[in-house]
Amino acid sequence: MNDSRVWQRFLSGRRLDLANPSPFDFEDTDIALGLSRVARWNGATRGDYAYSVAQHSLDVLAEVRRTTPPARLSVRLELATLLHDACEGLLGMDVITPLKPFLGARWRQLEDGVQRAVHQRYGLPFPLPAAMTRRIKKADRGLAATEAVQLVGLTPAEAADPATFGMPEPPLERSLTPWPAKRAEEEFLAELRRLAAFVR
């Protein structure tokens, strides 16, 4: 391992040290570009474009905004929601659930290390407070069920069946249309910069 390269270089020129990730190892643009080019569901979705993690993150944010009472909707909650999968953009993959047991604890440690560095960069605690995590998870799972039915082709019954997918939330009443990667990148980056300006 000592002789191996353990860093990822980004277009910004920054280098992410996978062994010891730092909040100075990446830029806003690196997260936005990476997430816009990482496909949900391994890319096995309907449409002319992959449904990117960048678009998914924006859709989860929209759901959190829709379902959170105004008195409880803070900029920190919005930013944490937008960045809930940020490590996937920096690591270049969204590991599908069936694959995770094969990767084991070391992969989770790597993801957690990168996600912690993201939170440090944007002034968020890691881990997040339990109430914030629950709100994000509920919206995230609702979007996953919606994606499963609309983009992957499952029936609602298949999506809810514990023997197959077992989605803990029902599909949302909204329509998903995958965007080109460039649009997802630009919209994610604009939202990130807008929210981060209030937190940093």
For the chain, which domains are there? 7-197 (1.10.3210.10)
Q: Write down the pLDDT at residue 172.
A: 96
Q: Write down the pLDDT at residue 199.
A: 85
Instruction: Decide if 49 contacts 179 (C-beta within 8 A).
Output: yes
Look up the pTM and report it.
Answer: 0.95
Q: Write down the pLDDT at residue 35.
A: 98
Instruction: Decide if 151 contacts 46 (C-beta within 8 A).
Output: yes
- Which two structure tokens, joined as six digits, stand for 191? 């939202």
Summary mean pLDDT of the chain: 95
Q: Phi-psi category of 87—alpha, beta or left, where left has phi over 0 and alpha has psi -120 to 50?
A: alpha
> For the chain, which residues score pLDDT lower than 70?
1-3
Element housing 17 (H / E) = strand 15-17
Instruction: Decide if 65 contacts 73 (C-beta within 8 A).
Output: yes
Q: Give which of 117, 85, 100, 107 is closest to 20, Cα–Cα.
A: 117
Largest distance between two CA atoms of the chain: 52
By DSSP bridging, strand 15-17 and strand 7-9 are antiparallel
